[in-house]
Amino acid sequence: MAEIDLSAVFDAMPVGCAVLTPGLRYVTVNRAYEGLAGLPREQLVGRPFYEVFPGGPDGQGMSEVRASLERVAETGETDIMPLQRYDIEIPGRPGAYEERYWSIRNASLRAPDGTVTALIHRAEEVTSYIRQLRETHPSDASPADRVEAVQAELFARTRELEEVNQRLHRAREEEERANAALHDALQRQQQAVADTSHDLRAPLTGLQTRLQLALTDPESDSDAILHAALHDADRLGDIVADLLELARLEAGPPVLTETVDLARLVEDELAGHDPGVALTARLEHGLRVRGSALRLARLLGNLVSNAERHAGSRVEVLLGCDDGRAVLQVVDDGPGIPAGEREAVFRRFYRRPDARGSEPEGTGLGLAIARQIADAHQGTLYVADRPSGTCMVLCLPLCAA
């Protein structure tokens, strides 16, 4: 799609539009507004609004418009004005004015901090529409009643149009969000398929190679080949099991019916570990959450196993609470995770460079599963910023007392 020149779009708009400073001086106008003002853009830019439209024959015509602009500059809120009458002097007849009616809307342009930086003034002449409406009202009505009825009807129609425009705008935003989410989901699916294919290929290739060796070389060590083939098959089983667990988690959160004592869960999980590094725990007892004990144990096990793979000599598990949430930290004294990778480690099949050579047995799915379990329990899991080592932090809402 060709790039759209937004300045050209602004200039070609069929409705008169002007951009003003909060002090009501012209910044720019489009061609339609030049026609309304009867002046070229060059003679408008920098001039005060009230100087260009001083007020008509009675000196009052634009006072309400100026008040509206000042109100928008102060509050930042859009103002849709009732029907405005502002008569235009007839060219060549000084002092003679022609009746004109206007539909006016004023809005603001804000900076990120909410400060109003500019005003958007839209003016559309509706004189012909007013004349048509007058013809539809009874001729025996007083002029004041007829004008009031016309004003009320036009204002109602303007409000209706504004509501329709807002609904269309919201629908378009929702459609764009849905399209973006669909595109993102499709990309994730394609990436997941590619990652899965890549990580399954290595053990499959190893298994195939070993079996071919056993078939083609009668003198090969069949016992060693079978053990290696079994190792490859076990690795394939681990990857498939983790993929199935991720699929179950993404299908929906677990049924949160259990009250889980976190300190006891940590003690039970650590008792089953046989680490090659020192593993210690400092736990605050009495902290309980609602959730699946089985999946929370899986989450903790994944965090501890990940820490053991990367630790230099020790891993520490800390449990405490903060602001109504249980806070579980798994800390290791390994090389740490660079700031740019701290979110990437939760992606499927992501393995840190220091793990690929020294510890190739991980499936690359452990932390992705841990993040999904945390999300399913309305919790958060992230890598904390620290000068050395790695600290994984899990936060879960505590049970109500």
The ranges assigned to domains in the chain are 6-125, 139-251, 258-397
- Give the residue carrying structure tokens 């809402």: 397
DSSP for 252-282, written as a single string: ------EEEEHHHHHHHHHHT---SSEEEEE
Yes or no: domain 258-397 corresponds to CATH 3.90.550.10? no
Residue 111 is encoded by which pair of tokens? 């900076």
The model's confidence at residue 57, banded by pLDDT at 50, 70 and 90, is very low
Average pLDDT taken over every residue of the chain: 80
Assess whether pLDDT exceeds 70 at residue 98: yes
Q: pLDDT exceeding 90 applies to what percent of the chain?
A: 26
pTM of the full predicted structure?
0.49
Q: CB of 383 within 8 A of CB of 342?
A: yes
Q: Which fold has domain 6-125?
A: Beta-Lactamase (3.30.450)
The model's confidence at residue 39, banded by pLDDT at 50, 70 and 90, is confident
pLDDT of residue 382: 95
Q: Identify the weakest region by mean pLDDT among 87-101, 303-317, 370-384.
A: 87-101
Assess whether pLDDT exceeds 90 at residue 96: no
Return the SS3 of 186. helix
Between 187 and 301, residue with greater pLDDT: 301
pLDDT of residue 195: 62
Instruction: Give the mean pLDDT of 247-265.
Output: 77
Between 213 and 285, residue with greater pLDDT: 285
Q: Identify the weakest region by mean pLDDT among 337-341, 361-365, 386-390.
A: 361-365
Q: CB of 291 within 8 A of CB of 258?
A: yes
Between 35 and 158, residue with greater pLDDT: 35
Which CATH number is 139-251 given?
1.10.287.130
pLDDT of residue 224: 78
For the ranges 103-117, 128-142, 204-218, the maximum mean pLDDT occurs at 103-117
Q: Identify the weakest region by mean pLDDT among 6-15, 215-224, 368-377.
A: 215-224
Assess whether pLDDT exceeds 70 at residue 134: no
pLDDT of residue 205: 77
Instruction: Give the mean pLDDT of 128-154.
Output: 65
DSSP for 10-47, written as a single string: HHH-SSEEEEE-TTSBEEEE-HHHHHHHTS-HHHHTTS
Q: What are phi and psi of 282, to 5 degrees?
A: -125, 110
pLDDT of residue 187: 78
Assess whether pLDDT exceeds 60 at residue 24: yes
Residue type, 273: H
Alpha-carbon span 386 to 378, nearest angstrom: 25
